[in-house]
Amino acid sequence: MTFPAGADVRGLLGLCTGALVALCFVGCDRAKIETPISDHPRLTANVISKDITFTSISLGRVISYRVILPAALMPNRKLPVVYLLHGGGGSYRDWSNYSDVARYAEQGYVLVMPEGNYSYYTNSAEHPQDKFEDYIVKDLMADVESRFPAISRRDSRAIIGVSMGGFGAVKIVLKHPELYAFAAGLSSALDVPSRPFSIKRISQYRGHEQIFGPWGSATRRENDPLLLIQTSESKATPYMFLTCGDREGLLAVNRRFAKLLRQRGFEYEFHSVAGGNHDWYQWNGQLPAVFAALKTQLRQTGN
């Protein structure tokens, strides 16, 4: 590259560099925008899937959820509802894309998979517009029951989650036991509100702080399953099904939580999965046991 005599070479190089960086960002942004979303739901011939977009009052914005239900419905028959919460970094598509959960809709369930972003299904301490717990227990439930043949009773509702979603399912039923008859947490991240600061995980800690508030705050205590269980009424709390792989770092806290359930007389079962890692392979393998337990707890018919 040559420059005219007397030109400010450093200045011209700076302009060229800036232009190249700008073009790079434009190109990256365009690539990000144009990259198609990978969506490959594992459906069966006897079910249908629908994606719904609605305005959540609690979030103050539009949000999506996916529903899978039997393809053939009897007139005027309503079905029990199972809410399925995805893990951190995932989306409302995860359950249908990475597990065989769709086949359980054939047994007469409405499966609901909400978008949870990276919220831990909790009303954010720092962002008032991110009331994700309220969105799940109020807005989502109301929208589902207005659109689909869903039984609007506690004894026909269940909530299940993996990882972050497992935390959400357990925490929500402890705070709202009147809404669900069954809860399952697979590899639940139950210790997140009580995790101390770590310089090795400073970005993760900052993200958790935005959701749960500063260390030792009331909002952390109000959303900590290990503390909520101490004041929950065992007779009013739904049946809990808990699993965790024996190769997971979350195994210790899940065992601790199961011990608290036993000490306080709650109805539950806990399974340590041999060779289990923190992944969909393990979680998908647990679904037969989860739905077998769910079937014994939910009322299958009603209006």
pLDDT at 28: 41
Sequential DSSP letters for 288-302: HHHHHHHHHHS----
Q: Band of the pLDDT at 293, cuts 50, 70, 90?
A: very high
Which one has a higher pLDDT value, 37 or 227? 227
Residue 116 is encoded by which pair of tokens? 């949870």
% of the chain at pLDDT higher than 90: 80
% of the chain at pLDDT higher than 70: 87
Q: What is the dihedral of CA 61, 62, 66, 71, to 10 degrees?
A: 130
Domain boundaries, the chain: 47-297
Could you read off the pLDDT of 64-73 as tens digits, one per residue? 999 999 999 9
Could you read off the pLDDT of 206-218 as tens digits, one per residue? 889 999 999 889 9
Q: Is 245 left (phi over 0), alpha (psi -120 to 50) or beta?
A: beta
Q: Could you tell me which residues come within 8 angstroms of residue 168 by beta carbon, excluding any fewer than 6 positions away?
A: 85, 116, 120, 121, 122, 136, 161
**Mean pLDDT calculated for residue range 244-273:** 98
pLDDT at 120: 98
pLDDT at 303: 58
* Stretch (H or E) spanning 85: strand 81-85
The C-alpha atoms of residue 125 and residue 129 are separated, in whole angstroms, by: 10
The answer, yes or no, to whether residue 248 has pLDDT greater than 60, is: yes
pLDDT at 281: 98
pTM of the model: 0.87
Whether the CB-CB separation of 161 and 185 falls below 8 Å is answered with yes
3-state secondary structure 131-162: EHHHHHHHHHHHHHHHHCCECCCHHHEEEEEE
Backbone dihedral angles phi then psi of residue 113, each to the nearest 5 degrees: -120, 95
Q: State the average pLDDT for the chain.
A: 89
Could you read off the pLDDT of 173-185 as tens digits, one per residue? 999 999 999 999 9
The answer, yes or no, to whether residue 279 has pLDDT greater than 60, is: yes
Whether the CB-CB separation of 132 and 119 falls below 8 Å is answered with yes
pLDDT at 35: 61
Domain 47-297, CATH number (from 3.40.50.1820, 3.40.50.300, 1.10.20.60, 1.10.15.40): 3.40.50.1820
Could you read off the pLDDT of 158-205 as tens digits, one per residue? 999 999 999 999 999 999 999 999 999 999 999 999 987 677 677 777
